[in-house]
Chain A
């Protein structure tokens, strides 16, 4: 029963959102429409000389990786488009400059020809240098631009021997380019420098790091990551640029947005809210780089003239991926009574729309050597739904005390009436 009521409430919210969005009438349709793009994922395999080492279950790293790739290709869901890029696979010489340009796409991103892909992987022999940064950059190009999220899975056993470009810096640049790109990393060697580097790449793009210790680990994890590409590729927020003051800030309709905010920066947005509507906003700031252990995020809603309406705040310490908070605010009756909050009243009738300013600020402090630019990823969710009225006090009663009270009151009334009647009859007779 409650759930049914919910679904109608959600429908009502959708309707309201559509009404509000005025110029964008197709909004409600957008919510239901499935993306037409297939999920795209690129596997990037390190084929540098160190992959010859035989330290995974007594087998060489490359043979374990080849077996895992074969199984992943076999189990690949039909709609997923997979590409494979290798690095350090061909150049056998000692010239670093030349060796560091050694990366090729051996299977182009697209519908996979399983036999061909497996054959291409099987012929790989460990050879050259490890240009991870360049390979990442090229892999992002291979995946192309589009409206959906894309994933890169990087499998390597050694740290980048070709920096610059520093692979972590490359990952951060790619993540900041606007298309949602997630790099998951798999380390094949228990080496501290490799781990640090892969952790940094993963953190910069919101990906994960896994230390593969056995062939089974590697295969299972690869399959999981490729499946994840299919599960998560459709959800991609719209990019928006918040301003540093409220006037002129972008006007947002319900939906999910992404932005970047650096340390000590404030980003302003505006949301129009009608009387009888409730504004809901939530924000997540991702920690994609090393920061000091204590941090927080603050989301405030103010009127156009700076009066604070409500705030949401959250803080924490220790390891985390995002810090998030949210707020609700409803345009009450008093706002309707010409609060004067609308900064641009149109000629003629004054507008009844309250423009609420949202400001996102963060309380992160960079560690020594942490780059400030580009800013940290901000995810902002805005929704405008029907406001919920406060419940009134009940008009009727309930409970045994009420029954007792009413019965006693009735009894007393009966007694008094009876006595009065007796007294009146006696007096009248006399």
Chain B
């Protein structure tokens, strides 16, 4: 797990380094990133990709293609896809890319052609989705994007039935377009929204054992509880205090001057 995150982080870092700071620039794959040639067919089998890693896969019209990618707080992700369609189609088809978070909750796109329609004669169709900035913390009751796994589902949502099953080629790229990092002030998610994939077990009885005490019960001399976390606010506030002291001395000196005269 740790290694996977580390590689993901490295790839993300590579993606960030390459991608220009503006969201307008066309996303490009990271140099040296290995092209993914697979796609999953459900949430559980979604193929993991990293930001900046290009995907190229052959598929059939009507298939539901799933990928998953990790997201960290402060990032904005952009998904761009191009579907190369089969020739001799019977009519218009509408394509869609949908993004879900680790809890399979639908995530909004702030920009991009999420559900474009291709004419019967069109050779390719471009699909795009820019996501909201990932927040470091959100209330349990909210649907804000949080750090964790995200799922991308690409499929045709409206198509004449005779066109189902025709071959298509899908190019997809998930890129990080902007990374604001995260500040300690905004809170922190204790566990990222990474869903479990193990088969569950049905428990026979409700667990009634008291949770084991984790040493917090005794009086603790630690100051970390009420001291603010280390950060730029300490520097700003200290600098402000010193400035105030200097200003105080200056103010005091101003009132002394007439007495000297």
User: Quick check: A7 and B2 within 8 Å, CB to CB?
Assistant: yes
Which residues from chain B contact A220 at a C-beta distance below 8 Å?
Answer: 58
User: Quick check: A391 and B187 within 8 Å, CB to CB?
Assistant: yes
Q: Is A368 an interface residue (CB 8 A)?
A: no
User: Quick check: B139 and A390 within 8 Å, CB to CB?
Assistant: yes
Known contacts: A388-B189, A398-B233. The answer to whether A272 contacts B196 by CB under 8 A is no
Known contacts: A254-B196, A422-B255. The answer to whether A228 contacts B41 by CB under 8 A is yes
Q: Is A146 an interface residue (CB 8 A)?
A: no
Known contacts: A10-B194, A407-B240, A419-B255. The answer to whether A251 contacts B203 by CB under 8 A is yes
A363-388 interface mask toward B, CB cutoff 8 Å, 1 = contact, 0 = none?
00000000000000001011101111
Q: Closest chain A residue to B255 by CB distance?
A: A418
Q: Is A320 an interface residue (CB 8 A)?
A: yes
Q: Is A256 an interface residue (CB 8 A)?
A: yes
Q: Which of A3, A12, A23, A413 contacts B251 (CB 8 A)?
A: A413
The contact size tier of chain A is: 35 or more
B1-17 interface mask toward A, CB cutoff 8 Å, 1 = contact, 0 = none?
11001101100000000
Selecting from A38-46, A84-92, A311-319, the interface stretch reads: A311-319
Q: Is B200 an interface residue (CB 8 A)?
A: yes
User: Quick check: A206 and B41 within 8 Å, CB to CB?
Assistant: yes
Known contacts: A9-B191, A19-B211, A330-B140. The answer to whether A410 contacts B246 by CB under 8 A is yes
Which residues from chain A contact B162 at a C-beta distance below 8 Å?
Answer: 190, 192, 195
Q: Taking chain A's interface residues, is the majority helix, strand, or loop, or is none over half, making it mixed?
A: mixed
Which residues from chain A contact B209 at a C-beta distance below 8 Å?
Answer: 22
Tell me, rounded to whole Å, the shortest Cβ–Cβ distance linking B219 to chain A: 20
User: Quick check: A209 and B164 within 8 Å, CB to CB?
Assistant: yes
Q: Closest chain B residue to A252 by CB distance?
A: B200
Which residues from chain A contact B43 at a C-beta distance below 8 Å?
Answer: 284, 322, 324, 379
Selecting from A102-110, A129-137, A153-161, A348-356, the interface stretch reads: A348-356
Q: Is B217 an interface residue (CB 8 A)?
A: no
| Contacts of B20-72 to chain A: CB distance below 8 A | 38, 40-45, 47, 58, 60, 62-64, 70, 72
Task: Kindly state the separation between the CA atoms of A278 and B139 in the bound complex, as whole angstroms.
Answer: 11
Known contacts: A187-B165, A417-B248. The answer to whether A237 contacts B185 by CB under 8 A is no
User: Quick check: A422 and B199 within 8 Å, CB to CB?
Assistant: no
Q: Closest chain A residue to B12 by CB distance?
A: A3
Q: Is B250 an interface residue (CB 8 A)?
A: yes
A268-286 interface mask toward B, CB cutoff 8 Å, 1 = contact, 0 = none?
0000101110101111100
Which residues from chain B contact A196 at a C-beta distance below 8 Å?
Answer: 161
Task: Kindly state the separation between the CA atoms of A82 and B17 in the bound complex, as whole angstroms.
Answer: 45
Most buried by A among B45, B200, B206: B200
User: Quick check: A402 and B256 within 8 Å, CB to CB?
Assistant: no
Selecting from A24-32, A63-71, A117-125, A171-179, the interface stretch reads: A24-32
A237-257 interface mask toward B, CB cutoff 8 Å, 1 = contact, 0 = none?
110100000000011111111
Q: Closest chain A residue to B96 by CB distance?
A: A318
Q: Which of A198, A385, A406, A413 contacts B240 (CB 8 A)?
A: A406
Task: Kindly state the separation between the CA atoms of A3 and B259 in the bound complex, as whole angstroms.
Answer: 63
Q: Is B195 an interface residue (CB 8 A)?
A: yes
User: Quick check: A256 and B186 within 8 Å, CB to CB?
Assistant: no
Which residues from chain B contact A24 at a C-beta distance below 8 Å?
Answer: 201, 203
Q: Is B239 an interface residue (CB 8 A)?
A: yes
Task: Kindly state the separation between the CA atoms of A157 and B64 in the bound complex, as whole angstroms.
Answer: 23
Task: Kindly state the separation between the CA atoms of A421 and B259 in the bound complex, as whole angstroms.
Answer: 11
The contact size tier of chain B is: 35 or more
B166-209 interface mask toward A, CB cutoff 8 Å, 1 = contact, 0 = none?
11000000000000001001111111111111111111111111
Q: Which of A27, A209, A221 contacts B198 (CB 8 A)?
A: A27
User: Quick check: A418 and B208 within 8 Å, CB to CB?
Assistant: no
Which residues from chain B contact A253 at a C-beta distance below 8 Å?
Answer: 200-203
Task: Kindly state the separation between the CA atoms of A11 and B5 in the bound complex, as whole angstroms.
Answer: 13
Selecting from A48-56, A72-80, A162-170, A210-218, the interface stretch reads: A210-218
User: Quick check: B253 and A418 within 8 Å, CB to CB?
Assistant: yes
Q: Is A101 an interface residue (CB 8 A)?
A: no
User: Quick check: B198 and A256 within 8 Å, CB to CB?
Assistant: yes
User: Quick check: B233 and A397 within 8 Å, CB to CB?
Assistant: yes
Task: Kindly state the separation between the CA atoms of A34 and B34 in the bound complex, as whole angstroms.
Answer: 25
User: Quick check: A282 and B190 within 8 Å, CB to CB?
Assistant: no
Q: Is A98 an interface residue (CB 8 A)?
A: no
Q: Is A427 an interface residue (CB 8 A)?
A: no
Known: A3-B70, A231-B47, A414-B254. 20 other contacts (CB 8 A): A4-B5, A7-B5, A22-B207, A24-B203, A209-B165, A213-B166, A238-B202, A251-B205, A253-B201, A276-B211, A278-B190, A319-B155, A324-B100, A326-B101, A326-B105, A352-B210, A407-B246, A415-B254, A418-B252, A418-B253
Using CB atoms and an 8 Å cutoff, list the residues of chain A in contact with chain B. 2-7, 9-13, 17, 19-24, 27, 30-31, 182, 187, 190, 192, 195-196, 198-199, 206, 208-211, 213, 217, 220-221, 224, 227-228, 231-232, 235-238, 240, 250-257, 272, 274-276, 278, 280-284, 310, 312, 314, 318-322, 324-330, 342, 344, 346, 349, 351-353, 355, 379, 381-383, 385-391, 394-399, 402-403, 405-419, 421-422
Q: Which 10 A-B pairs have the closest CB atoms?
A: A414-B251, A255-B200, A418-B255, A326-B103, A410-B244, A391-B187, A211-B165, A410-B247, A414-B248, A396-B233
15 contacts between A and B (CB under 8 A): A31-B196, A208-B60, A209-B165, A213-B167, A221-B60, A237-B200, A253-B200, A319-B62, A320-B64, A324-B104, A407-B243, A408-B247, A410-B244, A410-B245, A413-B251
